[in-house]
Amino acid sequence: MLERQQLVRLLRQVPLLHGLGPNDLSGVAAAAQCREIERRRFFFRQGTIADAVYVLNRGRVKLTQSTPKQAHVLLRFIAPGEMFDLTSLDGQPYTLSAEATRWSQAVVWKVPTMIALMERYPSIAVNALREMAARLQELRERYRELATERVERRVAHALIRLAREAGWRRESGFSLVDIPLSRQDLAEMTGTTLYTVSRILAGWRRDGIIESGRQRLAILQPSAVQAIAEDLPGATSGDEKPKT
Amino acid sequence: MLERQQLVRLLRQVPLLHGLGPNDLSGVAAAAQCREIERRRFFFRQGTIADAVYVLNRGRVKLTQSTPKQAHVLLRFIAPGEMFDLTSLDGQPYTLSAEATRWSQAVVWKVPTMIALMERYPSIAVNALREMAARLQELRERYRELATERVERRVAHALIRLAREAGWRRESGFSLVDIPLSRQDLAEMTGTTLYTVSRILAGWRRDGIIESGRQRLAILQPSAVQAIAEDLPGATSGDEKPKT
DNA sequence: CCGCGTCTTTGCGCTGCAGCAAAGAATGCC
DNA sequence: GGCATTCTTTGCTGCAGCGCAAAGACGCGG
């Protein structure tokens, strides 16, 4: 658990609370609770009542949605400082689950508390809007991809996003060390199957574009991945497409 | 154009402004502008700077996103009273286009103006958050569908949503009269092609589930559409699926 | 009322990808 | 260190749905 002072210092880094002065922050901190959970445990699960707003402090969280018949979709990862996607302010159930991919710590406000804080410090609400707008934007983009692009390109896009959000720059390219990322995960991010993902990655590995192992992945040639994601020349997947 | 009084009366119906008193509303109205456009014209287009927040007053608006290579995705329709999805508060370009499907009128605030209003009347910001959360929720659901369900079921879901948002109840079922809805539109909503949509609708028409013509569509048996959308018994598409 | 443009239908061939199955790797646990 | 578990790879088969082509229906404007 955290001391008040420590908590305030942390909250200063949180985009949701940008623009608040030290006194304000202290008030906001006073209304917060703190939760820590182990790897593979859930901050909340789809179906339970959405009664709180979460901001991740340390660790890494995976937001997923699942269907009655056990098909899962991986929506996004949350990095420290980010707010978990909020689903409802009206006591509806969560429509997604938040699972820690490793030990994680989050700051939590009850929904009515947070609404009161927003009424008192409107810039919190505006910050939240910004963050929601950005999420909506990204999801729309992925939706369009899913509707219009083939699998290989979607996987390439997924890697680019992951590298941006959680990639460590190395001598050559990026490695995605922060997140244990299985083929299954990638499949659930891109709307395909683990088999197809495995085949695609195998191809890229043969071409020296990536390096990959069990739950690990490194991008050796970011530009090549980019080329596959867009429709640039230099895409390697076998057939060249001669422009007429 | 509208008189101030008339505008205030209209704004009273707008969810975004719920909770504001008459004086507040008058102030909000004073900061607003009004735009009217013809069918097939755009309130704004993807790529131009997002400098305003829109609330539809009368008419019907279609939000679409398109790729460099002319593939289009139909994100949603906006009904009177609804806020257009906001894409950015920071001077980024719009990532979608807003086209009137018929003569439409919208109330418009410049982004900095709206932010100032939100700082002054925080409940506007909270209302906006609610609306954004709902959008995000729906989009997530559609994303999951696109990733996990087959085309026929996605189309059924699209019809259900349309009926809820814009359907007129008739003796039997619903007719979707408000929106000229082509096969192409439905395809762009569900991530498929107009051919496939046409074939699916033809099948349902044979089964008496719907009635459809050029840009028109009526649902005769809502429960049958529901049955296809979920996996209920009574789905008609040829093969029964005997539960083992 | 005719002709033209737009929307819709349907036949047909093709392919990207799903989805078993089964054989490897890598890892963790006792 | 060895066994069990979990993750990955890869061959093979099948089919849902894409997408061309061409004909038909509808509705609008003149």
CA distance A16 to A25: 11
- Region A193-210: what's the mean pLDDT? 96
Q: What share of chain A in percent tops pLDDT 70?
A: 94
pLDDT above 50: residue A242: no
Place B238 in a pLDDT band, splitting at 50, 70 and 90.
very low
* pLDDT value at B125 more than 90: yes
Per-residue pLDDT reduced to its tens digit, B204-217: 999 999 999 899 99
pTM of the model: 0.92
Q: Which nucleotide is nearest to B190 (CA to C1')?
A: D17
- The size of the A-B interface in CB pairs under 8 A is 129
B75 close to B64: Cβ distance less than 8 angstroms: yes
Protein-to-nucleotide distance from the CA of B181 to the C1' of C6, whole angstroms = 13
List, chain by chain, residues whose CB lies under 7 Å from nucleic acid strand C.
A 150-152, 191-193, 195-196, 213-214; B 182-184, 194-195, 198-199, 201-202, 205, 212, 214-215
What's the confidence (pLDDT) of residue A244? 27
Q: Which pLDDT belongs to residue B17?
A: 96
| Confidence at residue A233, expressed as pLDDT on a 0 to 100 scale | 59
Q: What residues have CB less than 8 Å from A196, skipping those under 6 apart?
A: A151, A187
Write out pLDDT tens, residues A43-83.
Answer: 999 999 999 999 999 999 999 999 988 899 999 999 999 99
- What is the percent of chain B where pLDDT is above 90? 78
Confidence bin at A227 (pLDDT 50/70/90): very high
Q: A126 CB near a chain B CB, below 8 Å?
A: yes
A225 pLDDT more than 90: yes
pLDDT value of position B233: 59
Given a cut of 80, whether residue B241 has pLDDT beyond it is: no
Confidence band, pLDDT 50/70/90 cuts, at residue A3: confident
Partner residues linked to B145 by β-bridges: none
Phi, psi angle pair for A50, to nearest 5° = -85, 90
E-assigned strand segments in B59-150: 61-66, 72-78, 97-100, 104-110
Query: B212: which nucleotide lies closest, measuring CA to C1'?
Result: C8
Write down the mean pLDDT value for chain B. 90
Say how far residue B105 (Cα) sits from the centre of its chain: 16
Amino acid letter for position B75: L
Residue B114, C-beta contacts closer than 8 angstroms, at least 6 positions apart: B53, B124
Tell me, what's the pLDDT at B68?
83
Query: Region B20-36: what's the mean pLDDT?
Result: 94
Is the CB of B137 less than 8 angstroms away from the CB of A88?
yes
**pLDDT mean over B69-90:** 93
Interface check for A208 against chain B (CB to CB < 8 A): the answer is: no
According to the model, what pLDDT value does residue A174 have?
A: 79
Out of A89, A119, A188, name the one closest to residue B122 (CB): A119
- B32-70 burial, b if ≥16 CB within 10 A, otherwise e? beeebbeeeeebbebeeebebbbbbbebbbbbbbbeeee
Residue A234 is predicted with a pLDDT of 52
Sign of CA dihedral A124, A125, A127, A128: positive
Whether the Cβ atoms of residue A182 and residue A190 lie closer than 8 Å to each other? no
Task: Provide the pLDDT for residue A165.
Answer: 86
pLDDT at A197 over 90: yes
Strand partners, B65: B73
- CB contacts of B67 in chain A (<8 Å) are 144, 148
Contact by Cβ (8 Å): B104, B41: no
Rounded CA-CA distance A142/A148 in Å is: 10
* DSSP classification of residue A93: B
- What the block records as the tokens of A179 is 């997140």
Average pLDDT, chain A: 90
What is the length of chain B?
A: 244
Going by pLDDT thresholds of 50, 70 and 90, the confidence category of residue B172 is confident
Q: What is the mean pLDDT of residues B11-24?
A: 94
